[in-house]
Amino acid sequence: MKIAFTGKGGVGKTTLASLFIQTLSSDGKEILAVDCDPDSNLARALGFENADRITPIAHMEDVIQERMGIESGNKSFFKLNPKIDDIPDKFSVSKGNIKLIVMGAVEQGGEGCMCPESAFIKTLLGHLVLKRNEHLVMDMEAGLEHFGRGTASSCDFVLVVVEPSVNSVETAKKIAGFAKDIGIKKIYAIGNKVRSKGDADFMKRELKNIQLIETIEFDKSFLEWGRGSSIPVIPKEITKRFGNIKRILEEDLN
């Protein structure tokens, strides 16, 4: 499966992506986790040691310049088809059967979307989706605008994380609309921070044409997790919910 988690900032997208990755991992499956969010937190959420010391791909200037054929620091001319097939294995970090690669953000103001760093990241993301064989789970930034059409159409699912608020629902609708425009056909929502039946009913009603496949109850332990404490013991009911999400996606894929 190749899955992109997205949603409005603050809805718990990274937390849910990490729990889904751990659900796949518990089955012994090989997984490539990709942190595409400029505010990179997936490594910490997955319990990687020294998560703050992982160098994002976008910050590997020497590697990017070499692969893009940049000479003497002249970034005006660069390759459009750099060698990237060895990047995931060479620059990922591993924990058990989970490999993690952190994309990072392009931080050079004024470069525009065609700077070599942006082109390299986009090419690498396309390779991960189109060429790699293991399960791929991507923690995206809000929106899918940096997905190319060919890359996006090869992604099996987009899972939009939604909390019971008008702003979150409206963001989910925009993301779903854009995903359909670029060729993604299977788009589901996961409700998060649900405190009551009313919250769940609100999301089901307002999401309209986006199928809500599961809801995750609010849990105070996740707040401490978000403040940097160790990974909490996940309640059995929540573990069960993620098992159900995996089952639904596997059945849909087959």
Provide the pLDDT confidence category of residue 158 given band limits of 50, 70 and 90: very high
Mean pLDDT of 170-194: 90
The pLDDT-based confidence of 38 (bands split at 50, 70, 90) is confident
| DSSP-derived 3-state class of residue 158 | strand
pLDDT band, very low/low/confident/very high, at 19 (cuts 50, 70, 90): very high
Residue 180: what pLDDT?
86
Check residues 39 and 165 and name the one with the higher pLDDT. Answer: 165
Q: Domains (ranges, CATH) in the chain?
A: 2-49+95-106+133-253 (3.40.50.300)
Q: What percent of the chain has pLDDT over 70?
A: 84
Say which range, 54-63, 80-89, 165-174, has the weakest mean pLDDT: 80-89
Give Cβ neighbours of residue 54 (< 8 Å, ≥ 6 apart): 40, 43, 48, 93, 100, 102
pLDDT (0 to 100) of residue 104 = 86
Query: Which pLDDT score is estimated for 111?
Result: 44
Instruction: Check if the beta carbon of residue 124 is closer than 8 Å to that of residue 82.
Output: no
Q: Looking at the whole model, is its pTM more than 0.85? A: yes
- Looking at residue 106, its pLDDT comes to 67
Question: At 228, is the pLDDT very low, low, confident or very high (cuts 50, 70, 90)?
Answer: low
What mean pLDDT do residues 45-60 have? 90
Q: How far, CA to CA in Å, does 112 sit from each of 38, 62, 136, 204, 250?
A: 16, 20, 28, 39, 39
| Sequence-ordered alpha helix ranges (H) in 27-86 | 42-45, 61-67
**Which pLDDT score, from 0 to 100, does residue 148 have?**
66
Distance CA(6)–CA(188), nearest Å, equals 11
**Under the phi-then-psi rule, with left for phi > 0, alpha for psi from -120 to 50, and beta for the rest, what region is 12?**
left
Q: Is the pLDDT of residue 232 over 90?
A: no
Which string of b and e fits 15-32 if b means at least 16 CB within 10 Å?
bbbbbbbbbbbeeeeebb
pLDDT of residue 164: 96
Banded pLDDT at 225 (limits 50, 70, 90): low
User: Looking at residues 235-254, what average pLDDT do you find?
Assistant: 91
User: What does the alpha-carbon distance between residue 139 and residue 95 come to, in Å, rounded to a whole number?
Assistant: 17
Give me the pLDDT at residue 107, please: 60
The larger pLDDT score, comparing residue 40 to residue 31, is at 31
Greater confidence, 184 or 92?
A: 92
Between residues 181 and 142, the one the model is more confident about: 181
* pLDDT tens track for 81-139: 778 889 999 999 999 999 999 998 766 544 445 577 778 888 888 888 888 889 999 99
